[in-house]
Structures are given as structure tokens and as C-alpha cells.
Amino acid sequence: MLRDDTPHEERIGPRDLTAWPTPPGRALARAALAAGRGAARLGAWGAANLVLVLTALVGGVVVTALVAAVAQVYESVVEADGLAGLDRPVLDAAVGLRSSGLDHAVTLYTDVGGPVGMPVLALLATLVMVLRWRSRTPVVLMVIAAAGSLAMTIAGKDLVARARPPQTLAVPPFETSPSFPSGHTLNATVLTGVAVYLVLRRVESARGRAAVVGAGLVFVLTMGLSRVFLGHHWLTDVVAGWALGLAWAAVVVTAHRLYLTVRQDRSGQVGHPVVALRTEAEPRVVGVEHPRRGDDAPDALAPEEATAAVDELPG
């Protein structure tokens, strides 16, 4: 049977994922706590999952609006010959680096991030995490991440409808869908970003966490650059894919952190020692504390006390 996140998985190294050290973060967590308390009849697990879904939906709307904004910025950049002015020089430089062997190798690599390869890779990674950790969280987050990534890719291509580089400068097999943004890059950024987040919660050493982040960055960067090298996308398509992918991955991670925060808060109201919101610098003033064992464990704050404590935070 698959389990929920354990207290051990509520941290990445020394960083408590339920701590919100910045004023915007505390405001977001405060809103999530209010929503969770409003759904008190659902229990701790139900209220937390409601916040997860609502955050993902709201975040999806925001990122979709961001796609439209990026499309408008792209049009302005093209007209001003800004970043888009690098598209052709970069593509010409890539053409100069090609050889039959290198073209074949990069084509095999880019297929890993394609419409068949990336879903298979994400599915395999999710299955490994689920079976190894016996946790449902990888399934939930990876499904949300994949759904949003696909929606953004379709929306971006429909909004901009940019033509791909000419086939005379591309390596076959050729692609005919609109070019902006790069779907390979966007999907790789989102799914790799969320997978890295999930793994980081299980890695104890700082060196190990650095290795995980480094491997994820290398994969995302090289996947995007492979699209330019093969002439399947312009540089600006790839840059947009990175930006939008990072935005959606951040939404998914934030939604999960709010889920953890609300779950702790709701559990605290049914008898477990939980305090509402805190910063890393003020662990004993206000914040979500992990359950403590022993007779000296502090009592949980009542909802009104926790809200009052949050309101007293500076900034």
C-alpha cells in the first residue's frame, strides 16, 4: 500500500519545506491555511489535497497567462530584432559543427525528450520512485507536472504559430508542428525539475544533492541545445521552453509545499504538535514544527492564535 509523505520527506537537507521565510511566501501559506481550515470537514488529508489541487489550478491559469505574455514579448522581440537576432547566427554556427556521426548521436539523444521518449522516461522514473519509496507523492506530482506541461506546449504553439527553421538547415527527420515554444525543452524542464525535487527530499548529503541538481541541469540544458543543433528549433524557442518549464515546475513544487503545510496544520488541530507558520530564522516563534516525542512537547496553537502570531511577523 502506498503511503503519504513522512516527516523526513518534509525537508531538503536543513531546509524545512513547510517554512516560509519571505513575506510573499508567508502570505501564500496564510491563504492556504485559511482554505484548509475552511475545508475542516474533509480532515487533514482531504483539506491538504484540496489546497494542492486548488494551487495547481490557480497556478495553471497564471502560467497559461504567462504563455500568452511570452507570446506577446516574443512578437516585440522579433520586431526589435533583440534576442531573436541571435537565432540565425546560432543556427548557422550549429550547422558548421555537424557531421554524420554527431548528427546521428544528437538525434538519438533528442528522441529521449520527444513525445514518446519523455513520457516513457518520466513513467519509468515515477515507477522507480514509487516502488522504492512506497509513496504516492511521485505519481501525483508527476501527473500534475505532465498535464500542465502538455497544456502549455499546445497553447504556446497555437498562440504564436511560428515556423520552424528551413528544412535546408535541419537534420531529418523533419518536424512540421509550430516551433514556439520547444516542446522537448519545456517538457524536459518540467518533468526533470519535479523529479529532482522529489529525489532531493531523500538525499542526505549536500554533495549528493549537488550531484542530483547538476545532473538535472545538464539534461535540461543539453536537451534544449540539441534542438537548436539539429535545426528543429530557433534559439528563442528553446529559451522560452526553459522559462515556461521552470515557471510550471515552480508552481508544482509550491503546491506540494503548501500541501505539506496545510497537512501539518490540520493534524495539529486534531492532537499532534503543530504550530502554524514560521521562518527558518524564527523556528520557535511561529511556524510549522515537526512532531516531537516526549512529555515536554509544546501544545499546538489554536487556529486563531496561529493566525495572530503570523500577523505579528515583521514585513
pLDDT tens per residue, range 140-167 = 999 999 999 988 888 888 877 888 999 9
State mean pLDDT over 271-277: 40
Q: What is the pLDDT of residues 198-232, one digit of tens each?
A: 999 999 999 999 999 999 999 999 999 999 999 99
Domain count, the chain: 1
What pLDDT does residue 78 have? 59
pTM, rounded to two decimals? 0.81
CA dihedral 59→64→65→67, nearest 10 degrees, is 130
Residue 192 falls inside a structural domain: yes
- For residue 16, the enclosing domain spans 7-311
Q: Quick one: residue 287, left, alpha or beta (phi over 0 = left, psi -120 to 50 = alpha)?
A: left
Tell me what percent of the residues of the chain surpass a pLDDT of 90.
47
Euclidean distance between CA atoms 154 and 145, whole angstroms: 14
Q: Do the domain assignments include residue 89?
A: yes
Q: Name 135's bridge partners.
A: 3
Q: Are 44 and 263 in contact (CB under 8 A)?
A: yes
- At 125, the pLDDT band (50, 70, 90 cuts) reads very high
Residue 221 belongs to some domain of the structure = yes
d(CA 310, CA 291): 20
Burial of 146 (0-12, 13-18, 19+ CB in 10 A): buried
For the CA atoms of 7, 8, 13, 15, what is the dihedral angle to 10 degrees? 0
Residues 6 or more apart from 269 whose CB is under 8 A from it?
40, 44, 300, 303
The rounded mean pLDDT for the chain is: 80
Residue 2 is assigned to a structural domain of this protein? no
Give domain status of residue 42, yes or no. yes
- Give the DSSP H or E segment for 11: strand 11-12
| Residues 300/274, Cβ–Cβ less than 8 Å | yes
Residue whose C-alpha cell reads 503546491 in the numeric block = 255
Please indicate, yes or no, if residue 105 is contained in any of the structural domains.
Answer: yes
| Residue 172 to residue 176: CA distance in whole angstroms | 11
Average pLDDT value for residue range 106-133: 94
Cβ-Cβ contacts under 8 Å for 67 (sequence gap 6 or more): 152, 155, 156, 159, 244
At residue 303, the pLDDT reads 47
More confident position, 163 or 285: 163
Is 1 within the bounds of a domain? no
Give, in degrees to the nearest 5, the angle at Cα 140 between 136 and 146.
Answer: 140
Domain-embedded: residue 214: yes
Of 200 and 286, the structure prediction assigns the larger pLDDT to: 200
Residue 187 has pLDDT above 90, yes or no: yes
If pLDDT is split at 50, 70 and 90, which confidence band does 46 have?
low
pLDDT in tens, 17-40: 999 999 999 998 888 888 877 766
- What are the grid coordinates assigned to 17, written together? 519545506
**Is the model's pLDDT at 132 over the cut of 80?**
yes
Does 268 have pLDDT greater than 80? no
Instruction: Provide the pLDDT confidence category of residue 196 given band limits of 50, 70 and 90.
Output: very high
pLDDT at 298 over 70: no
Helices (H), 201-234: 206-229
Where does the pLDDT of residue 86 fall: very low under 50, low under 70, confident under 90, or very high at 90 and above? confident
